[in-house]
Chain A
Amino acid sequence: MVVGGGHAGVEAALAASRMGKTIGLVTMDKTKLALMSCNPAIGGLGKSHIVKEIDALGGVMGKAIDATGIQFRRLNLSRGPAVWSTRAQADRIGYNRCICEVIAEDKNISVIEGTAGQFLVENGRVIGIATESGEKIFSKAIIVCSGTFLGGLIHIGEKQIPAGRQGEKAAYELTKSFRSLGFEIGRLKTGTPPRLDGKTIDYAKCEIQQGEYPIPFFSYTTKSYNVDQISCHLTYTTAKTKEIILRNLDRAPMFSGQIKSKGPRYCPSIEDKIFRFGDKPRHQIFLEPEGNGTDEVYPNGFSTSLPEDVQLDAIRSIIGLKNAEITKPGYAIEYDYCPAYQIKPSLETKLIENLYLAGQINGTSGYEEAAGQGIMAGVNAVLKIEGEPLFVLDRSESYIGVMIDDLITHSTTEPYRMFTSRAEYRLALREDNARDRLFGYAQKYELISEEDYKEFVDMQNRTIEKIRMLRKKVIPISKLDGLSKYFIRKDAVSLADLLKVPGVTCNDIIPFMTDEQRDDSNDEIAERAAILIKYEGYIDKQEREIEKFKKLENESIPKNFEFASLLGLRNEAREKFDRIKPISLGQAGRIEGITTGDLAALAIHLKKYKSQKNIKDKQ
């Protein structure tokens, strides 16, 4: 059973279904599956990598955004292939409908409308839930993806409204049930900007931002098709905006003390930005349309919980928004979450067996982060039921692995968003190689079709061939023109050498190929080959680091290892180990404040424990 029909819940249900299970998807309103409650966009830095990973694991997010996107772009093209990042504006309603259809068509999933109120637990295992209306539903495993609905409280100026999302009821019973089972519950805050009526915006005063062709789609399954891409616009706040907001700061819940929980630093409210970066004359605001069939516009960068009248004044002080009308006010929302030291790498809770948590309840923010956890929880719940070994991705093979490890090791205290800088093996975790990294797992767990897998292996082989060709094909220096300066004291260079010059892309070398070589150059293969050549040396170096990393990661710590009674550890270290219960020496070393000495001491105890256990096992 999956509780919650947001981005995490939907991926969890679909993954479990692909693995042949029947799922009850409990949600308050079955027409609101996978709603984008904040900005109408998928992808962006770090997030797009997660979408590609979800896609490589057979998930739905990439496919749905490809089908319903209204503008696609690739960010960071000048900053290197590992940080290239796809971003799309979504048709908000279209996306939601698309997912509803997919779920409706899935024979294994039945949507149950209701609000989970209480866990039914027997001998430390969850066996079902009781809804707030008293109905009991039983299941072998329960995945909770409750988003911002647990104890949701909306703030608009001095106004406080209990709600899960604007206009939707929140869930209060479930928090109580969590607490009574012994869970620690924390509180986080996030916010959203007001929505504007596009008809009242003077776009002529704004900078235009257009989509990209050829369209960069997310999913490997998407066959290129033509999208009538719409434009976004960029505008700026003014001195007047600043003045209005500063004058009304005492009415902002974040400043008046009304909100005490912590919001995301990477997505501050406009009042926060203006207050903290007072010397910045203006702040940029992206005007993003919410879809094809609506005039509603999302002013990205203007998240606020100021009172409605101030919101309107401030909005109208922005360039091009002089006559703008607000359709829905912005708000801040506080909600309950469950600090993630309480879950295992499989996302199962440590306290209650067969209970899994995914998405915002673990302290993340963002559709992509939620969906990534959803898919992992879905797969692991099924594996556990079948008595199979769990599916855990590590930091060197995926952003999803980085995220889950960060969550369970550090228990975030602000909503967690993915950034590429969180991935220490970033060069190895690219969009282009998501399938190289994860398709093996997807095949193993039957999350994708056998044909897809074969097709991909074929592509891998053709990439290798392509690289071979690029290494063999030699160009005389005299033909290189401007590029020849990179090759002093050489008569001729291979196309591969050319690609290694900073700034040279696979398009730049096309003129040097024969027609035949060009013909078989499928764009994706050409790009993959070019990246592998360009970063050869670095990728090797990174691989060596990964090997070192894996050694420590493989020093596993047994489940029932008693940290609390370890001698020779500093108190701080002992407490942290005991709270987080790291599963490997590698993870233990990543805990904040742990020193090399702590780790050495732990290693000694661990070896002793293992050798004693060996002796016992032999007897």
Chain B
Amino acid sequence: MAIKFINDDTIAAIITPQGEGGIGAIRIAGPESNKIISRIFLRARSDIKNNIPFHLYYGHLFNREGEVIDEVTMVEMPEGESYTGQTQAEIFCHGGQFILRQILNEIFHFGARPAEPGEFTRRAFLAGSIDLARAEAVADLVSSKTEYSYHAAKNNLLGKLTDKIDLIRNRALDILAEIEADIDYPEEDIEPANENKIEQAMDEIIAELAELASSYRSGKIIKEGYKIAIAGRPNAGKSSLFNLLLNQNRAIVAPVPGTTRDYLTEWIDLDGVAVSIIDTAGLRKPSGIIEKAGQKSAVEIIAAADLVIWIVDLTRKSWRKDLLKDINDIRNRNILLLFNKIDKINIKNITDKDILSISFKYVLFSCITKFGLKELKKELNQYIINRMPDLTDGLVITSERHKRKLDLAIKRLKRGMITIKKKESPELISFEIRQGINEIDEITGRIYNEEILDRIFSKFCIGK
């Protein structure tokens, strides 16, 4: 069971409740706190040399690439005087989950790990900052929460997730039981563990874990909202659309290709669903280093987006040829085609044949006349509603910790596969698979050795 009782590492977590609040707060506690703050936070006032404890500073939070994530206020507290008793810092930012996550990611990047539930309080208690009565209240909370959420969550996401994980775990235990039976009962007349069967079962388990891990994407949508990227060739009208959807002139629009060199993100409200839209740099042969960097990030954004609006400039003669080429690069993404600048061309020039040859949804559009805006919004809504993870029976993981554990489990089991393929001895195969199961167990928080034996006894006729 993985609980750390040694407080020598630095932990961080969002301490404001989930959901759109006015302000979000993040707490960092542990020896690395100051160092992490110095890497991500820059005071607005440069005339002060050092941060004074318990002073609230206004400034900017940067990501590791040096880009501003948000305007924030920040306060530091020295060892012995904070809630946790350790060096501690708190950051207050604009409340959206998306921003909070981004900041948290940077904090993890610079050396903190996610705090376990109740861990700040545990440290506070150890430091003597809170008395027994309060500590007990928290202990109550921690345990009742587990039990409560266990029962209460039976029919919802968490309960199903546990069931699903148990199911996968059981299959892994079955495999282990086969291998262990082979080890512990060499003289028994039992069918030797069939390698092909084991490999196949392992493949399936790994695939299921991977599917679960990839559901983190949907999980993130639930938590952070839907991501739509606006992409296309230079000068197609991406920034124009971005501004239109935003209802403000946020991005620079210019008749020269390559105007947008970096990306811009904003939140919009689409029929009550918060959606983040991203304006990207146009994709084509880059002419400079900055543009090249912009394009690289555009490619990444396209890859990470839940939906890509691909804009086609109908005034370009080569649009058909270009589109066929471009489509190949982005075919495996969710795509909505936007045929832009319809005001400039004769609509009859676009034949049915043009459209039929492309198997994507499309909207005819003009940023100038706003032709097609209603249809676009309808399309987007439709899309989002269809793609929103189904909260009634879809399985998603929303916790970063779970995602991490799943990834580790997959890694270990894959190593198990390698040991099988390399024909290593069963004890080593078992070792790897056990490690994989241990990772899975850290999600649900339990381990009990006897289970393997239970399986062996129920499955095989054992006993001379």
Contact = CB atoms under 8 A, between A and B. Distances in A.
Nearest to A75: B186
B335 to A, nearest CB: 43
Nearest to B426: A79
Interface in A31-78: 45-46, 75-76, 78
A242 to B, nearest CB: 12
A82 B138 CA distance: 44
Interface string B130-153: 001001111111111111000000
A213 interface: no
B5 A585 contact: yes
Interface string B119-134: 0001001101000100
Given A567-B140, A597-B147, A604-B122, A551 B6 contact: yes
Interface stretch (B204-212, B380-388, B441-449): B441-449
A569 interface: yes
A611 B128 contact: yes
A234 B314 CA distance: 85
B183 A76 contact: yes
B394 interface: no
A608 B180 contact: no
Contacts of A603: 3, 5, 122
B449 A422 contact: yes
Main SS at interface, chain B: helix
Contacts of A590: 447-448
Contacts of A427: 427-428, 431
A303 to B, nearest CB: 8
Pairs A-B, 6 closest by C-beta atoms: A568-B139, A80-B425, A597-B146, A596-B445, A80-B427, A568-B140
Contact of A267 (B427, B428, B452, B463): B463
A589 B140 CA distance: 18
B424 interface: yes
Given A76-B186, A83-B183, 13 more contacts: A85-B186, A264-B463, A273-B461, A286-B187, A301-B463, A410-B450, A424-B434, A541-B431, A590-B447, A595-B143, A596-B446, A605-B139, A608-B132
Contacts of B452: 421
A452 to B, nearest CB: 29
A353 interface: no
8 contacts: A78-B425, A79-B427, A80-B427, A266-B457, A552-B5, A567-B139, A568-B142, A598-B143
Q: How large is the interface on A (under 10, 10 to 19, 20 to 34, 35 or more residues)?
A: 35 or more
Nearest to B181: A421
A590 B448 CA distance: 7
A216 to B, nearest CB: 15
Given A570-B143, A600-B118, A265 B185 contact: no
A82 B426 CA distance: 10
Interface in B1-49: 1-3, 5-6
A406 to B, nearest CB: 8
A222 interface: no
B427 A82 contact: yes
B180 A604 contact: no
- Of B3, B117, B132, B462, most A-chain CB atoms within 10 Å: B3
A607 B126 contact: yes
Interface residues of B, number: 59
Contact of B143 (A78, A426, A597): A597
Interface string A71-102: 00001101111110100000000000000000
B423 interface: yes
Interface string A567-600: 1111001000000000001000110101111111
B149 to A, nearest CB: 9
A608 B449 contact: no
B325 interface: no
Interface of A: 45-46, 75-76, 78-83, 85, 264-268, 273, 276-277, 280, 282-286, 300-301, 303, 410, 419-422, 424, 426-427, 502-503, 535, 538, 541-542, 551-552, 555, 567-570, 573, 585, 589-590, 592, 594-601, 603-605, 607-608, 611
Contact of A421 (B137, B184, B423): B184
B114 to A, nearest CB: 14
B452 to A, nearest CB: 5
B136 A83 contact: no
Contacts of A424: 434, 449
A83 B427 contact: yes
B180 to A, nearest CB: 4
Given A421-B452, A567-B136, A596 B3 contact: yes
Contacts of B450: 410, 592
A389 to B, nearest CB: 23
A273 B135 contact: no
B213 to A, nearest CB: 21
A596 B146 contact: yes
Nearest to B176: A421
Nearest to A280: B461
B439 to A, nearest CB: 12
A45 B464 CA distance: 13
A590 B116 CA distance: 20
B176 to A, nearest CB: 8
Contact of B142 (A85, A555, A597, A607): A597
A404 to B, nearest CB: 15
B422 interface: yes
A118 to B, nearest CB: 36
A189 to B, nearest CB: 14
A542 B428 CA distance: 11
Contact of A45 (B5, B117, B186): B186
Contact of A596 (B1, B422, B426, B461): B1
Contacts of B461: 268, 273, 276-277, 280, 283
Contacts of A592: 448, 450
Nearest to A598: B143
A422 B450 CA distance: 7
A536 to B, nearest CB: 12
A283 B461 CA distance: 9
B379 interface: no
B453 interface: yes
B262 interface: no
B187 to A, nearest CB: 7
A552 B139 CA distance: 19
B390 interface: no
Contacts of B456: 421
A608 B128 CA distance: 8
A267 B185 CA distance: 12
Given A265-B457, A502-B422, A600-B142, A421 B5 contact: no
B189 interface: yes
B199 interface: no
Contacts of A573: 143
A570 B149 CA distance: 13
Contact of A604 (B116, B125, B144, B426): B125
Contact of B463 (A273, A585, A600): A273
A589 B125 CA distance: 21
Contacts of B5: 551-552, 555, 585, 603
B136 to A, nearest CB: 4
A568 B143 contact: yes
A608 B186 contact: no
A567 B141 CA distance: 10
B180 A421 contact: yes
B182 interface: yes
A33 B122 CA distance: 55
B427 A503 contact: no
Nearest to B429: A80
B464 A286 contact: yes
Nearest to A425: B431
Given A273-B463, A301-B463, A538-B428, A422 B183 contact: no
A420 B122 CA distance: 37
- Of B116, B147, B427, B428, most A-chain CB atoms within 10 Å: B427
A595 B453 contact: no
Contacts of B425: 78-80, 502
Contact of A502 (B137, B423, B463): B423
